[in-house]
Every structure is written in structure tokens, then in C-alpha cells.
Amino acid sequence: MRELLKTKKRIVVKIGSSMLTDAEGHLDPKVFGALAEEVATLCKLGKKIILVSSGAIAAGMKRMGLSKKPQQIPKKQAMAAVGQTALMHEYEKSFGKRGLMVA
């Protein structure tokens, strides 16, 4: 797989909620830092990285004190709205330290 990536100019990475959170369900700054470091390294090698991330619902659940993921779409949307700012804040902190912008 690594050999294949060497020839690619653009790489899409999908990160799930379980990768971004610790055992208690909090967003894990160490994970964001490690991810940002990997992406920064790839960027320095001339790669264009597209990072697609889950995590907004999980972050919203933690902020709202829920332990079980809601099943109703409006409640999932509410959790995503609450969690999106926390998720982007973690990305912005970690990637910003390495001179990278997030959107």
C-alpha cells in the first residue's frame, strides 16, 4: 500500500468517530496532533490531502451529556450541530500548529 501511495498526488483519508475519541467519548487531542503531523509530512512531500471526518455527532453527544447515540434524524442533526464546532476547533488547533488550514 505504501508503494502505491508514493505515486499518488492526491490522497483521500476517511477518519471515523472511534478513531478521534478516547475511551470516555471525548475528542482526543493526541490523536488530532498525530493525524496533523502525518498530514503535514505528506504535504511536505508534495501530496494533496483530503481529510473526511466523522465525529461531530460523537462530540455533540459528549457535550450534551448523552451516552447513547440518538436514533431520530432531528436529534442526530442537533448533536452534529453542537459537536461540529468542537470537532473543527480540535482540527484547527492541531493543524494550525503545523501551518495547515482546515475547512
pLDDT 10s digits, 53-102: 999 999 999 999 998 999 999 999 999 999 999 999 999 999 999 999 99
Q: What is the pTM of this model?
A: 0.87
DSSP 68: S
Tell whether the model's pLDDT for residue 4 goes beyond 70.
yes
| CA pair distance 91, 103, nearest whole angstrom | 9
Tell me the per-residue pLDDT of 10-37, one tens digit each, with 9 for 90 and over.
Answer: 999 999 999 999 988 899 999 999 999 9
Closest by CA to 27, choosing from 93, 74, 72, is 93
- The pLDDT of residue 1: 59
- The pLDDT of residue 81: 96
Distances (CA, A) of 83 to 10, 46, 61, 78: 28, 32, 7, 9
Tell whether the model's pLDDT for residue 6 goes beyond 90.
no
